Amino acid sequence: MPSVRRVSHEFLQRQGLTTVFGNPGSNELPFLAELPGSFRYVLGLHEGAVVGMADGYAQATGRPVLVNLHAASGSGNAMGALTNAVASRTPLVVVAGQQVRSAIGPQANLANVDAPALMKPLVCWAAEPACAQDVPRALAQAVFEAQLQRRPTYLSVPYDDWAAEADENCLPVLDRSVRLAATPDAEQGRRLAGQVAAARRPALVLGGDIDSAGLFDDAVRLAERLGGPVWAAPSQFRLPFPNRHPLFRGVLPAGIAPVSRAFEGHDLVLVLGAPVFRYHEYLPGRYLPEGTRLIQVTADASAAARAPMGEALVADPGAVIELLVKALDAPKTSVGDYRPAPEPLTAEGPRLHPEQVFAALRDALPRDTAYVVESTSTNSSWWRQMDLRRPGSYYFPAAGGLGFGLPGAVGVAMGQPGRPVVGVVGDGSANYGITALWTAAQHRVPLTIVLLRNGTYGALRWFGGLLGVPDAPGLDIPGLDFTRVAEGYGVPSRHVTGIDELRAVLAERPDHPRLVQVDTALTTPS
Ligand code: TZD
Ligand code: CA
């Protein structure tokens, strides 16, 4: 009989999980022994960066990805980054090493006491196999749970299990496949189509799942049939709709009262592929205006169950879009033209206004560029200037945990070689995932990091005003030079001072990672 390790490697290979993002320790080494040549181990220097890179890679490829972390300490370091993977419904399969079983109770060094409990609030499934021969099946469950529930999973494996001999009941798992089909039945489909067709003023709200499921263009077809306004749901991890499309009204503000105000006058709000809703700032009010009905269609059963209002149908939004497009009459009038971006605002003094930077990105970079964005105070400038019309153009850390932008951009670029990728990262955010620069340099990942340096935690200054805290300490971050930090990790970099220089630098297409630092003026998120 082969070893548990051999069967597990074979399973991962058959399922296509051969790119492994990790940072190993002694407990993990036995899993990495005899790794077949078809595997690629992408080393990250800190677990936050490891998970951020794996998240970007999994989102860009649309596939589950294996993450290899060290016991409790490595898993703990990864948890902040996992909050974003939860919000973006990323199927990460985290495998961590554990002490041998007999050493866990006495708490030998590197024993992860109650390992599944450590991760449970974040992952949808966490386990430690009860014996070595259950490892291949448990690994398969970790992959399938992540794939079906679209949420990270966690498996803790005592390190001596890998060398143990498999038994014959370990082998059937190699041939397994698990698939999901969630098309509404005929009656559900008729009912929904009837509700939508009967609406006088329907509004559409789209979530990140629309883009991650490859439905970006289908959503445009549906919207143009409906002819009503389209919003992106609050706090989303992807852009589900072209942001300069004539029907697009922007990202819904993340507060109860302003969301309700946006729906004023609509008898039906159809939400596709989003939770209802991921509010942020507490702005109390009625959830919905009087006379507005909400229908949520999502593949995420938990998002349907926890919503505080509305009807929900747990189904594949793609199947629902298809049936609605078929059932609805073609529109009588054209929806109009895409809206041009306004002239970018400028700043006083030597610093560039973020709008100038974004206008330069929009004009100098190819239309299919994928942007990974983590610059919190520049949100309104971003949406005023950008013109994103292609699927997979925008990634954002939707749980608000900083440290995704830089690693996420590395992961997206590795997952979609050939597509231009730009990370737009603030001088605060960059520090949480900075070590990903090293991985980008080692793998020569073609990628541009545009580092916006305003010398402060801009968004927190703005929040300070909103929350009546004008005098909080610890909000400024002077004295950081990212060109020198990047050079230290092996990434060539430039400090750009003028808009013409920025445009010229962005027009270059290097085949390696680079960092472009720009000094920017402070702006507000909205
Ligand atoms: N730590 C982590 C892991 N996530 C966070 N979101 C924060 C702290 C708090 N935080 C924000 O929510 S925004 C922000 C912090 C520190 C400032 C980010 O600064 P930046 O962007 O330079 O990246 P702006 O544009 O200057 O706001
Ligand atoms: Ca900043």
Give 407-462 pLDDT, tens digit per residue: 999 999 999 999 999 999 999 999 999 999 999 999 999 999 999 999 999 999 99
Report the pLDDT value the prediction gives residue 452, as an integer from 0 to 100: 98
Structural contact between residues 3 and 162, judged by C-beta atoms closer than 8 angstroms? yes
Q: What pLDDT score was predicted for residue 510?
A: 95
**Percent of the chain topping pLDDT 70:** 100
List alpha helices for 36-175, DSSP H.
47-61, 71-87, 101-104, 115-119, 135-149
Q: What tens digit of pLDDT does each residue of 149-193 get?
A: 999 999 999 999 999 999 999 999 999 999 998 899 999 999 999
Q: What spacing in Å lies between the alpha carbon of 376 and ligand 2's midpoint?
A: 8
- Report whether 65 contacts 94 (CB < 8 A): no
Give yes or no: 26 in active site.
yes
Give the C-alpha separation, 76 to 74, whole Å: 5
Could you identify the atom of ligand 1 that is nearest to the CA of residue 354?
25
Q: Which of 509, 501, 503 is nearest to 361 (CA)?
A: 503
Q: Structural domains in the chain?
A: 4-175 (3.40.50.970), 186-327 (3.40.50.1220), 354-519 (3.40.50.970)
* Per-residue pLDDT reduced to its tens digit, 311-363: 999 999 999 999 999 999 887 788 899 999 999 999 998 999 999 999 999 99
| Cα 483 to middle of ligand 2, angstroms | 16
- What rounded mean pLDDT belongs to the chain? 97
Q: Would you give the distance in Å from CA 392 to the centre of its chain?
A: 11
Contact assessment for residue 379 and residue 526, using Cβ atoms and an 8 Å cutoff: yes
Q: List residues near ligand 1 (CB under 6 A).
A: 80, 375-378, 400-403, 426-429, 432, 454, 456-460
Give yes or no for residue 524 having a pLDDT over 90: no
pLDDT in tens, 217-268: 999 999 999 999 999 999 999 999 999 999 999 999 999 999 999 999 999 9
365 DSSP 8-state letter: S
At 58 the pLDDT is 98
Residue 65: what pLDDT?
A: 98
Ligand 1, atom 14: closest residue by C-alpha? 457
pLDDT score, position 162: 98
Active site residue 25: yes
Q: Inform me whether the pLDDT recorded for 525 exceeds 90.
A: no
Write out pLDDT tens, residues 457-512: 999 999 998 899 999 999 999 999 999 999 999 999 999 999 999 999 999 999 99
Tokens of 380: 């309104």
Q: How far apart are CA 207 and CA 425, in angstroms?
A: 23
Which numbered atom of ligand 1 lies nearest the CA of 80? 3
